Chains A and B, each alone.
Chain A
Amino acid sequence: MLHDQQPLATDQQPPAPNLSLMTARLYDPLLKVYRNYTARVFLQAIITIWVVMTLTFVLVRLMPGNPVDVLVEQILTAEGISYQEAYDRIAASFNIDKDATPLDQYLQWLGDLLRLDLGTSITSPGTKVIDEIARFLPWTVFAVGTGLLISFVLGIFAGMPMAYYRGSKLDHILSFFSSFSTGVPNYIWGLLIIIGPGISWRWFDIGALRGTYDVGLTPGVNAEFILSALEHAALPVFTYIIAILGTWMLSMKSSTTGVLNEDYVNVAEARGLKERTVISSYVGRNAALPLFTQLTISIGFVLSSGVVVEEIFVYWGIGHLLFQSITVRDYTTLQGVVLLLTAVIVFSNLFADLTYGLLDPRVRVSGEK
């Protein structure tokens, strides 16, 4: 953006001090922070997260029912005691202060948050939300990360020939697949996999693939456990790959098409470089550059959209935790998971912004100035 500015005239009298200049001086430290790019985007990120968290706080409390009612229902039908009795018993076992107004709860929660304390679960007292997240998150990171990386690499290698042979049969077939892959949401892909190979054709036993590893195994670095973990993750990972691959292919195709028209590719060919060199260092490298940014941004997106996929395959990751906490109205856990997902999305965007320079020398230098 260009702004009007007093001219820098070395041979002119300095402008007389005026009111706007003086007020500007007052806000100088704040302005300085605001003008620092990194500081500014961090500030924006924090504010975004806070807004989302506050909305979540309000929204979860607007959901019909509450944690106590959910369990009271269960006990009532199971034990046949009076409502009041059941209510008192559940309330006592819960980690809540019944008299606290929502505002008190909000302030309490916000205060804890500032100390990076996510609180403890409402429905299972004594369990820290952070521990719950730590238990489930690695599996999600594993599945989503693998899916994302494999699809990214495949997409780059499939997207380039699409651009090179634009208009060919190969391009048409791959483009059709890409649009299909992008258009169909990942949970639908998940359902299709369960219904097709899983139930109709019985290629594998869906039931045995519940959870993140076979029952009875102890997590650790041993072949049996690792194999089992891979086996359990295979279907969600495959779903992620199928669902995201098309995006990468189309992005890479359009990016490569652009790069192929660049003078430097033309010159590289005129220089008699080996075709391999031109494809990798001149076309591939430049075409993939913008996709790395997209990759970072999509981490957050895939993580959150994987919630339903995990539930479909009964894969015990963060999505499963989220579902559970919604079912029993465990507000604190729910808030914790949403906070996590929001933070990942916001910070992966931020990270993409700040690290692009590491890959592109053009940005690297102007960033230093």
Chain B
Amino acid sequence: MSAMSPETILRVDELSIVYRTDRGDVRATNDISFDLKRGEAMALIGESGSGKTTISLALIRKLPKNAVVTSGQILYQHDSNVQDVLGLSRRQLRSFRWNDCAMVFQGAQNAFNPVLKIRKQFEDTARAHGWADKTAIRKRALSLLELVRLDPERVYDSFPHELSGGMKQRTLLALGVLLSPQVVILDEPTTALDILTQRAIIDVLNDMQRKLQFSIIFISHDLSLAAEMADTVATVYAGEIVEIGGVDEIFYRSLHPYTYGLLTSVPTLEHAQDVLQSIPGSPPNLIAPPSGCKFHPRCSFASDQCQVDSPPLQLDIGSHLAACWHKDRLLASRKEDA
């Protein structure tokens, strides 16, 4: 791989992770590679079980006990210093977590310790990373709570159960950027929230990112959210990135039949009837994945080659990469439809 440009903050390089289970090894991610730039918002989209959550957990080394990283590196560049996250010592890892890379998990409903006030949980976090001054912590926390459009004083002195779901989610976002991390990982940041609360969270996130300049990796099955927030979109299928590119490239000129299939299965609010289609079949079993291209059993473009050879992730135009033998046929068929 090429040398890391100073603009790159995080590089995932040929990362493969296996879950050891009683039924066999689950190949959760396979040769995943991507670069995340400073200030960039990248969306990992894919269905449940596609491996997108595994990737995000690997970034902060919070994989379940039965997970084994079989190959690859996660390089983190900070002050022209490059470290492999997978090689960090316990002490280094503890400091890397939240200080450099914060992760906002899915379901903020349960993300806070129910018996501690929000204040205590902000203080715990700051102190674990060397902040001693309580007033300084308070000042920073209140300004962040204000940034996420909450009543700072009231929320800071609340117990978690005194906050609504949307408020908890926003408080968690504020806690996420408490230590000014370079990278914030968001796992399904709006799932299970009400529509109007989702809108508030999206607006708050955009606002925060503009002001605080961190990079975002967010994981979602919601294509609309990716369309709205992402600079770069990566489609994950069966543990592999099958397509990655700028948000416009992915949405308007997708080169992988799976990405295209997802796009044509999502209803819109446009003032015309949607013509939608499901992708036939269901996601593959990752203990014994299909040969060749893992999408071939569900793909209408599949040929004999697809059953045998796994297509490499190849550069198309600009920064747009896709792993498909039949990009041209897909593009041609879309022109016909249009």
Contact = CB atoms under 8 A, between A and B. Distances in A.
- A contacts B directly in the complex (CB < 8 Å)? yes
Interface stretch (A110-118, A271-279, A346-354): A271-279
A277 B159 CA distance: 18
B80 to A, nearest CB: 23
B102 A270 contact: yes
B8 interface: no
B312 to A, nearest CB: 34
A289 interface: yes
Contacts of B162: 365
A273 B115 contact: no
A274 B94 contact: yes
Nearest to A273: B128
B161 A365 contact: yes
Interface in B79-119: 93-99, 102-103, 105, 107, 109-116
Nearest to A364: B159
Contact of B113 (A264, A272, A274, A359): A264
Contact of A271 (B98, B110, B116): B98
A270 B124 CA distance: 12
Report whether over half of chain A's contact residues are helix, strand or loop; otherwise say mixed.
helix
Interface residues of B, number: 30
B105 A362 contact: no
B110 A277 contact: no
A361 B112 CA distance: 13
A191 interface: no
Interface stretch (A88-96, A201-209, A280-288, A313-321): A280-288
A360 B159 CA distance: 11
Contacts of B307: none
Contacts of A359: 115
B141 interface: no
B259 to A, nearest CB: 30
A361 B96 CA distance: 32
A269 B105 CA distance: 12
B179 to A, nearest CB: 8
B174 to A, nearest CB: 13
Interface string B37-63: 000000000000000000000001010
A263 B94 contact: no
A281 B159 contact: no
A362 B124 contact: no
A355 interface: no
B115 A271 contact: no
B191 to A, nearest CB: 14
A267 B112 CA distance: 8
B129 interface: yes
Contacts of B124: 268, 271, 273, 277, 281
B110 A270 contact: no
Contact of A361 (B95, B107, B161): B161
A271 B128 contact: yes
Contacts of A365: 159, 161-162
B99 A286 contact: no
30 contacts: A262-B110, A263-B110, A264-B112, A264-B114, A270-B62, A270-B102, A270-B103, A271-B102, A271-B124, A271-B175, A272-B93, A272-B125, A272-B129, A273-B128, A281-B113, A281-B116, A281-B124, A282-B113, A285-B113, A286-B113, A286-B114, A286-B115, A359-B115, A361-B115, A361-B159, A361-B161, A362-B114, A362-B159, A365-B159, A365-B162
List the 6 closest A-B pairs by CB distance, nearest first: A272-B97, A263-B110, A272-B98, A361-B159, A273-B128, A271-B98
